[in-house]
């Protein structure tokens, strides 16, 4: 049964590659090269349909052993925003309150218990069972990776993003995850930006500054 599925997957990739070999430069500019982090927002809403599409794109990004440890909480209501504001440094409160939606990018410490569904062809649970440090490292690394996919996917959909780390993880975890035990990683405002709040783009390293080819 596995072999036909492997062949089907291989053909799907070949078909996709024959349809589109690479993104054009405009698309790359939109998602990375000319993209900016935003902290001021218009009133244009982000619909439930867009949030579902954003998740569907994000969840297809690769993770180690397909662990998919990230969990997402979309905070949009006034009540939810007030709860989230308790965790923020003062300078970040208005940035979050003005965004149509703020996503809490979190991770589930029990993610590995779903590997029978996510990685059904081989039992990988023993790699994580009782190995707290390894399980934590895998979860944090891959939920951060999924958060990166999330931001790129949002930009690809025409949304703007503004990630934030100026908050108390402990307060967020107590306020939102006291029952399910999830752990917050970072926050990401999403919506349609007010570009008038932008300043100049900050410097980036050149290839020779930080790269080696061996």
Q: Where residue 173 sits, what CATH number does that domain have?
A: 3.40.109.10
Tokens of 130: 């009782």
Residuewise pLDDT in 10s, the chain (214 residues)? 578 888 999 999 999 999 999 999 999 999 999 999 999 999 999 999 999 999 999 999 999 999 999 999 999 999 999 999 999 999 999 999 999 999 999 999 999 999 999 999 999 999 999 999 999 999 999 999 999 999 999 999 999 999 999 999 999 999 999 999 999 999 999 999 999 999 999 999 999 999 999 9
Which H or E run contains 101? Answer: strand 101-107
Domain-located, residue 118: yes
pLDDT of residue 1: 57
pLDDT of residue 3: 84
Domain-located, residue 68: yes
Displacement of CA 68 from its chain's centroid (Å): 11
| Distance, CA of 44 to CA of 99 (rounded, Å) | 10
Residue the block writes with tokens 């024959």: 18
pLDDT of residue 126: 96
Residue 118 has phi, psi (to 5 degrees) of -80, -25
Domain-located, residue 159: yes
Domain-located, residue 62: yes
| Overall number of domains in the chain | 1
| Distance, CA of 43 to CA of 61 (rounded, Å) | 30
Residue 92 has phi, psi (to 5 degrees) of -100, -10
Structural domain containing residue 48: 41-193
Tokens of 159: 């949304």
Domain-located, residue 18: no
Domain-located, residue 212: no
- Buried b / exposed e over 85-112, threshold 16 CB at 10 Å, is bebbeeebbebbbbbbbbbbbbbbeebb
CA end-to-end span of the chain: 42
| Distance, CA of 191 to CA of 157 (rounded, Å) | 11
Tokens of 166: 């100026």
């Amino acid at each position: 049964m596995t072999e036909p599925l492997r062949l089907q997957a291989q053909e799907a990739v070949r078909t996709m590659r024959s349809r589109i070999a690479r993104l054009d430069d405009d698309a790359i500019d939109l998602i990375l090269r000319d993209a900016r982090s935003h902290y001021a927002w218009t009133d244009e809403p982000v619909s439930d349909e867009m949030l579902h599409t954003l998740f569907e794109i994000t969840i297809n990004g690769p993770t180690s052993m397909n662990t998919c440890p990230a969990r997402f909480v979309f905070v949009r209501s006034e009540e939810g925003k007030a709860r989230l504001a308790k965790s923020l440094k003062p300078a970040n409160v208005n940035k979050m309150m003005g965004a149509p939606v703020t996503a809490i990018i979190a991770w589930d410490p029990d993610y590995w218990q779903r590997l029978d569904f996510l990685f059904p062809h081989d039992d990988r649970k023993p790699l994580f069972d009782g190995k707290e440090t390894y399980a934590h490292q895998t979860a944090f690394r891959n939920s951060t990776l999924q958060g990166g996919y999330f931001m790129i996917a949002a930009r690809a959909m025409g949304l703007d993003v503004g990630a934030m780390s100026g908050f108390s993880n402990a307060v967020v975890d107590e306020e939102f995850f006291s029952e399910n035990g999830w752990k917050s990683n970072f926050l990401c405002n999403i919506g349609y930006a007010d570009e008038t709040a932008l300043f100049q783009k900050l410097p980036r390293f050149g290839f020779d500054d930080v790269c080696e080819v061996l």
